[in-house]
């Protein structure tokens, strides 16, 4: 950006341009059905021109912010997808589910399968996890008997949802973490702290409640759960150990950073630097993927070419998410460079609306209007990030704001959300029933998750 250029537009025009940009995003996605990636690129360009960013540097601003965002996000999403696919294809998902049911007993089978889904939801994306686990969940539900579809189905689906919304390395929290420059270790830790009770309240307890009022028979949609399962599934504790690798390493990294700041350890010591390296998010996930390739693949007799095809197959489904996230970073960069972010920060201060509340409400509006949680989260984080970065918040506060934004992005799944149709169709529910069950669950998840995020923000 040229040093001699300065924004001459006032607060009102800048906020008007921001409002028009968001409205245009909604029109292009909802009415014209333009892909979210193309929409964000087009709106970023138009916003840059409208706010007067010099043409000589406009393209550099757009591409620079796009690349900056992808640098932090693409690795995490890609590696997380590979890890999830390895757990899924090896039979590790079913092994963990069986362990949970055997440990908890049939009377608590729904709770057990929900806990298994929570654990598997750490590396596996929502839609993939749901498709993997629902056949297992349905088989257990049919074995126990009764009209118990919602008790088992919603409990499992909600578990994958909360992990996808609140816990890295899923795209939403990773993207918001990058935009807000939050500490990934704290977001991961607090994300788990929020996700588990949020799932229990909005998932398990809601499923028990609504199952009594809307009794549905488990559909024979998937047939036998033995189909396509490997003959030699891994030990469930082996899978659990692999999934714990990135969590432990990232937590160790965060702990060392805190100890270094407090003067307890020397941050320049070789052992500290080595642990810091392996505990960085991308390296931690890379290590877990390599271990998974060996333990869940090579050591179980999978050939190198089969593993290569498996890894290659994971990239297609996540490519769209990665590009949308990068385009969202581009949009956020334009907002910052043009001064819109500073204008928003000042406006929030003038009306006394806390940043954490503003982030949640903006994400709620975008989610309800256009359906995609990823687009809602990425757009909100780009819009609000200047206010967060300039707010002087503590590390925990920024993590809480990150998770509050994520909570807003999941509210009220309805007919414009692909997840709405995925859940409804897999559970053989009509639109009205899906609205009464899944849409309410997602709204409860959003409100409860936001309440926990605000509690952390206030107390700490």
Residue 5 forms part of a structural domain: no
Residue 119 forms part of a structural domain: yes
Q: Which domain holds residue 111?
A: 11-459
Where does residue 195 rank: exposed (0-12), middle (13-18), buried (19+ CB within 10 A)? buried
Locate 262 and state its tokens: 């407090």
The interaxial angle of helices 55-89 and 171-180, nearest 10 deg, is 140
Locate 407 and state its tokens: 């909570």
Residue 115 forms part of a structural domain: yes
Which residue carries 């729904």 as its tokens?
A: 110
Per-block mean pLDDT, blocks of 10 residues, the chain (460 long): 68 85 83 86 91 86 84 77 79 76 82 88 76 74 84 95 90 87 92 97 96 88 53 84 82 76 80 87 86 87 80 79 79 79 69 88 83 81 88 94 96 80 82 91 97 95
Number of domains in the chain: 1
What is residue 458's DSSP assignment? Answer: H
What is residue 401's DSSP assignment? Answer: H
CA geometry: angle 453, 421, 369, nearest 5 deg: 55
Concatenated DSSP letters of 234-268 = PPHHHHHHHHHHHHHHHHHHHHHHHHHHTTSS-TT
**Cβ 380 vs Cβ 408: under 8 Å:** yes
Which residue carries 């990636």 as its tokens?
A: 37
Residue 147 forms part of a structural domain: yes
Residue 224, pLDDT score? 45
The set of residues, in sequence order, having a beta carbon less than 8 Å from that of 82 and lying 6+ positions away, is 289, 292, 311, 314
Q: Is 168 left (phi over 0), alpha (psi -120 to 50) or beta?
A: beta
**CA distance linking residue 236 with residue 246, whole number of Å:** 17
Residue 220, pLDDT score? 64
**CA distance linking residue 328 with residue 334, whole number of Å:** 10
The set of residues, in sequence order, having a beta carbon less than 8 Å from that of 88 and lying 6+ positions away, is 124, 128, 129, 132
Locate 202 and state its tokens: 């909005």
Residue 368 neighbours by CB distance under 10 Å:
17
Secondary-structure percent of the chain, ordered helix, strand, coil, rounded to 5: 80, 0, 20
**Cβ 79 vs Cβ 318: under 8 Å:** no
Residue 223, pLDDT score? 45
Residue 4 forms part of a structural domain: no
Residue 258 forms part of a structural domain: yes
CA atoms within 13 A of residue 290's CA, in its CB half-sphere: 6
Residue 4, pLDDT score? 61
Q: What is the reported pTM?
A: 0.73
Residue 72, pLDDT score? 66
The set of residues, in sequence order, having a beta carbon less than 8 Å from that of 131 and lying 6+ positions away, is 426
Residue 16 forms part of a structural domain: yes
CA geometry: angle 43, 46, 52, nearest 5 deg: 135
Which residue carries 């593993």 as its tokens?
A: 307
Residue 104 forms part of a structural domain: yes
**Cβ 435 vs Cβ 414: under 8 Å:** yes
Residue 2, pLDDT score? 52
């Amino acid at each position: 950006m040229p040093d001699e250029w300065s924004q001459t537009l006032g607060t009102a025009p800048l906020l008007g341009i921001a409002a028009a940009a968001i409205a245009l995003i909604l029109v292009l996605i909802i009415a014209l059905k333009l892909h979210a990636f193309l929409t964000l690129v087009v709106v970023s360009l138009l916003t840059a021109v409208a706010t007067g960013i010099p043409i000589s540097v406009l393209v550099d601003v757009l591409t620079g912010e796009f690349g900056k965002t992808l640098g932090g996000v693409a690795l995490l999403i890609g590696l997380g997808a590979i890890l999830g696919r390895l757990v899924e294809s090896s039979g590790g998902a079913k092994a963990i589910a069986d362990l949970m049911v055997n440990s908890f007993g049939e009377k608590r089978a729904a709770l057990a399968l929900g806990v298994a889904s929570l654990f598997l939801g750490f590396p596996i994306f929502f839609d993939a996890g749901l498709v993997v686990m629902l056949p297992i969940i349905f088989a257990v539900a049919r074995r126990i008997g009764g009209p118990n579809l919602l008790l088992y189905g919603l409990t499992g689906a909600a578990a994958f949802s909360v992990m996808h919304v609140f816990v890295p390395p899923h795209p939403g929290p990773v993207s918001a973490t990058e935009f807000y420059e939050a500490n990934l270790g704290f977001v991961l830790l607090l994300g788990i702290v929020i996700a588990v009770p949020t799932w229990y309240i909005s998932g398990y307890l809601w499923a028990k409640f609504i199952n009594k009022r809307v009794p549905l028979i488990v559909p024979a949609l998937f047939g036998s759960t033995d189909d396509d399962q490997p003959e030699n599934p891994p030990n469930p504790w082996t899978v659990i150990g692999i999934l714990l690798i990135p969590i432990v390493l990232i937590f160790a990294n965060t702990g060392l950073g805190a100890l270094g700041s407090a003067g307890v350890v020397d941050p320049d010591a070789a052992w500290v630097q080595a642990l810091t390296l392996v505990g960085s998010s991308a390296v931690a996930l890379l290590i877990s993927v390599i271990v998974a390739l060996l333990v869940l693949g090579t050591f179980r007799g999978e050939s190198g070419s089969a593993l290569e095809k498996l890894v290659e197959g994971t990239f297609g489904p996540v490519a769209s998410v990665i590009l949308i996230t990068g385009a969202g970073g581009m949009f956020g960069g334009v907002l910052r460079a043009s001064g819109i972010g500073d204008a928003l920060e000042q406006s929030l201060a003038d009306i006394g609306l806390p940043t954490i509340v503003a982030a949640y409400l903006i994400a709620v509006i975008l989610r309800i209007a256009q359906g995609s949680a990823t687009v809602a989260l990425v757009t909100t984080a780009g819009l609000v990030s200047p206010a967060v970065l300039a707010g002087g918040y503590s590390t925990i506060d920024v993590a809480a704001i990150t998770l509050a934004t994520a909570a807003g992005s999941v509210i009220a799944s309805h007919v414009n959300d692909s997840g709405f149709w995925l859940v409804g169709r897999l559970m053989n529910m009509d639109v009205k029933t899906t609205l009464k069950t899944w849409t309410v669950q997602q709204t409860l998840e959003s409100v409860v998750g936001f309440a926990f995020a605000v509690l952390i923000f206030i107390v700490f």
